[in-house]
Amino acid sequence: LRCPMLSFSGMNSQYARREIFCRNTCHELKRFWEREIGKQTYYRESEEYRLGRSALRKLREEWRQRLEAKLRLRNNPDETEKRANMGRELLTSLTQEDSKH
Q: What is the mean pLDDT of residues 41-47?
A: 95
Best CA proximity match to 17, nearest among 25, 6, 32, 31: 6
Q: In this structure, which amino acid lies at residue 57?
A: R
Handedness of CA 84, 85, 88, 94 (dihedral sign): negative
Q: Taking 70 as the threshold, does the pLDDT of residue 25 lie above it? A: yes
CB atoms within 10 A of CB 5: 14
Per domain, the residue ranges of the chain are 1-53, 58-101
> Can you tell me the distance from the alpha carbon of 78 to that of 85, in angstroms, rounded to the nearest whole number?
11
Q: In this structure, which amino acid lies at residue 2?
A: R
Label residue 5 by pLDDT band (50, 70, 90).
Answer: very low
Helix 77-100 crosses helix 55-75 at what angle (to 10 degrees)?
A: 110
